[in-house]
Structure 1
Amino acid sequence: MDRRTFAALLPGILTATAVLPERLEAQTLSPLESGVYKPGPATHGAVPKRASKRFALGMLKAGNIRLEVHETTQEVGAPHEPIETHLHSEIWLVQQGTVELTVNGKAQRLNAGEMGLCVAGDRHYIQNVGETPATYFVVTLGPPE
């Protein structure tokens, strides 16, 4: 192959490799079925004073859509998670306590019974700002990452 042929093929190669991780995750995640999902064991990630229980993680049958549902508890004084952006959207349903959801630099408080939404691509984090532990459900919905 000469360099002209390679140069002509390069945009297609780059496009294919850009979507490769998404397709790999979609192939490794199981399809989700209708039914009841119970919480898994509590896991502690890299952020101290925070524990999560996963209910579901997999691919929906309609389209190339990844769904994850977990419950997180943040202790009082827990540091906030890293400021992130994702290809998926996130929904927070506060079960108890008070959290602050910061999206694109704008902070808003959520109390028990309230819902927060962060659409794909927005920079965000959530933090317990109350005087008691905060527990909330997180639902993520979007393409595999």
Structure 2
Amino acid sequence: MIRRFVAFSCLLLITGCAPQPPGEFIPYYQVETTKPYDEVLAELEVAIAENNFRITGHSRIGKVIRDRGTEGFPDYDTIQFCNLTHAKTLLLMSPHSVRHMPCNVVMYNFRDKTIVSTHLLPTDTENPELNQFSTKMNMLLKQIVDFAVEQ
């Protein structure tokens, strides 16, 4: 029993100290605002469209849970969106980048604030062209989020 515990503890220690493979860490960008939730959601949809993206999915998780009988459950939304030109460029540079698609924004209320968060593309891969593209896309994703939360 003690041997198993020691072996398991060593395994956790070794894997916990393992270096992060380049390009595997998925950063995110998050902002918060006191702006009403519905306004942020509407502005987010506008910002996505104005930046030439198409909304491919919208999950209204909080609303669905309320509709199933849990009164007062807070809002939680996820919005997926894509631009096929950007998608093609990204996938031609790296087929493995499909795991970062589509673009995704999450929204929820927490402590009287609306939180908006999006995953960013990794910019530390071994492909400099991909890193440059990802840097530009990350700036665009941040602009979309920032537009939605502006007062």
**Do both share a fold (TM > 0.5)?**
no
Relative CO higher for 1 or 2, CA cutoff 8 Å, sep ≥ 6?
Answer: 2
TM-score when normalising by structure 1: 0.26
TM-score when normalising by structure 2: 0.25
Higher strand share: 1
